[in-house]
Amino acid sequence: MERKTQTGYLVLADISGYTSFVAQTEIEHADIALSLLLEAIVGKLSSLLTISKLEGDAVFAYVEESKLPDGKSLLDLIDHTYLTFRDQAESLYGRSSCPCRACQAIPTLDLKFMVHHGDFIVQQVAGIKDLLGTDVNLIHRLAKNHVAESTGWKGYALFTDQGLERMQTDKKTFVQQTESYEHLGHVETYVMDMHVRYKEMKAS
């Protein structure tokens, strides 16, 4: 059966520090903390986007362009998702009297976003939906980037040029970088420090 190609926004919200957090801490408490943080991310993103799937330490979501005529609403969603994540992490850490490494290491976790605009196909096999396409591959490859290396940021939002162009967002407030991937070539990206955004939101 032929599947229709759709156009829209692809969003990957990825918890930074996940690998070392799980490897170096008690798995039971680490699992509880991560589950609560992922639930917070899903709860926010699902207000506007369709959740495609959970990918360990990440949430992959999308929305058809026709359902999101205003790009600013996506920027607002990213802001509020990050705010909710940070507040949840600080609350978990603040409420815990547990001295285990997992509970004490919660503040080391952060959240990064990858946002792209492109084409995709929604495939359904045995009742399970999945997204296919070159742009889907790209959004996942973007999780491996040079942002932390070049800026020191652990919490950030990375947008492709296509994403910001479609959202009609001023690029002047972003840091421009170029990533390069095998089979995909050079990708122009624009990055925003979410720690700065978090302080601005808390102040307001």
Work out the number of other CB atoms within 10 angstroms of the CB of residue 1: 3
- pLDDT number for residue 10: 97
Domain containing 69 equals: 6-203
What's the rounded mean pLDDT across residues 108-116? 95
- pLDDT number for residue 186: 95
Instruction: Give pLDDT tens digits for 43-102.
Output: 999 999 999 999 888 999 999 999 987 888 999 999 999 999 999 988 887 776 677 677
Mean pLDDT of the chain: 89
- pLDDT number for residue 94: 78
Instruction: Give pLDDT tens digits for 133-144.
Output: 999 999 999 999
CATH number, residue 47: 3.30.70.1230
Per the CB < 8 A criterion, the answer to whether 158 and 116 are in contact is no
Q: Is residue 1, in this structure, part of any structural domain at all?
A: no
Q: Is residue 182, in this structure, part of any structural domain at all?
A: yes
- In this predicted structure, the answer to whether residue 1 has a pLDDT above a threshold of 50 is no
Instruction: Report the C-alpha gap between 157 and 113 in whole angstroms.
Output: 4
- In this predicted structure, the answer to whether residue 24 has a pLDDT above a threshold of 70 is no
pLDDT band at 21 (very low <50, low <70, confident <90, very high): low
Q: Is residue 159, in this structure, part of any structural domain at all?
A: yes
Kindly state the tokens that stand for 137.
């591959």
Instruction: Report the C-alpha gap between 128 and 53 in whole angstroms.
Output: 10
Q: Is residue 101, in this structure, part of any structural domain at all?
A: yes
Token pair 């409420």 is found at 95
- In this predicted structure, the answer to whether residue 25 has a pLDDT above a threshold of 60 is no
Please count the structural domains in the chain.
Answer: 1
- pLDDT number for residue 27: 65
Q: Is residue 146, in this structure, part of any structural domain at all?
A: yes
Q: Is residue 170, in this structure, part of any structural domain at all?
A: yes
